[in-house]
Amino acid sequence: MTDLTQRIRPARLAPDAALAALRAAAEPTRLRILALCHGRELTVSDLCQILGQSQPRVSRHLKLLCDAGLMARFPEGAFAFFRLTDATLPAPLLRPVLDAIDPTDAVYARDAARLKALNASRAEAAAAYFLANAGEWDRIRSLHVDEGVVERALLDLLPAEPVENLLDIGTGTGRMLLLLGERVRRGVGVDASREMLALARANLESAKLNHLSVRQGDMYQLPWPDPSFDLVVIHMVLHFADDPAAAVAEAARVLRPDGRIVIADFAPHALEELRRDYAHRRLGFADDEVAGWFCSAGLARLEPRRLAGKPLTVVLWAASRRHAPSRGSRAARQKEPA
């Protein structure tokens, strides 16, 4: 079995592509940008603050790096995050160079210090948001079994071998990414809330899980072609959904053959206060209902696991891909993002 530390395999490039990548990187500011975005993602304003350069100049450098295939741009509302591209593109050509840069060099040490201060500020702002809302989450957590029990049960449902690609839908604080990070080679969390994504980014940066990232997105229209992931997790999210069946169908769309989906949520209950005070759209889900979603999405369900609490019961529903989704299904009609 391949060791999890061997996450990135060198990409094979045509000579012209290799030359284009090397030319794009062979400039002082662009090499600093590559070093800063090695294992993390930053916005234009982040880079301007660290580099001490203007927005137009930084944007021009980023465009050149993206055009050369060294970096990728991920829009998020009015912002965009930039990160080194994955192993299928030219970025691996430069990773040994970036790893070899002397961190004590005056310019790079200053960049690192400014990055550290920026991350601390971001973490402080995210923690303040979490603190402001912690009372509501603590109230709900007190109604069901301890989260550690849920997490251990979820881990038991995962494949024994390392997972190549993980998708965490409704990632929130990134807790599932942190929990599963050492068992996956690559992982991404998607969430609609920029505040939650800021907190998740701070948590991943603190844990040094550079093979994980987060994206802003809609769980009904995931920005990936089908199939893309070996494991999809939907943890305590569906009770907020207007159309949970559609969310499951969309999750199934991006699931690879032999891939697995795991859903953790509440069994049916009668706590109307959760709908009234905490924006829960659904008061839990029945086993037959979830089984119907799996069947419609072409998934073979596994036996659900129930974790009784007072008064809420958490259920773990899991299923595996048994065939490709029908081309007539809503999930299959989703267009591949540009």
Closest CA to 299 of 245, 271, 259: 259
Q: What is the pLDDT of residue 80?
A: 84
Under a CB-based contact definition with an 8 Å cutoff, are residues 214 and 197 in contact?
yes
Using alpha carbons, list the distances in angstroms from residue 108 to 28, 50, 105, 158.
11, 10, 5, 41
Which domains, from first to last, does the chain contain? 15-101 (1.10.10.10), 135-321 (3.40.50.150)
- CB–CB of 230/260 below 8 Å? yes
Taking the chain (338 residues) in runs of 10, the rounded mean pLDDT of each run is 40 77 92 90 92 95 92 78 72 81 94 89 67 62 81 90 94 93 94 86 89 93 91 94 90 94 94 82 91 93 92 94 53 38
pLDDT of amino acid 332 = 40
Torsion of CA 7, 254, 290, 174, to 10 degrees: 40
CB 81 within 8 A of CB 70: no
| Joined tokens for residue 59 | 């944007």
Residue type, 224: W
**Any alpha helices (H) in the chain, and if so which ranges?**
15-25, 28-36, 44-51, 55-67, 95-100, 106-141, 147-156, 175-180, 194-207, 244-253, 272-278, 287-296
Q: What is the DSSP letter of 72?
A: E
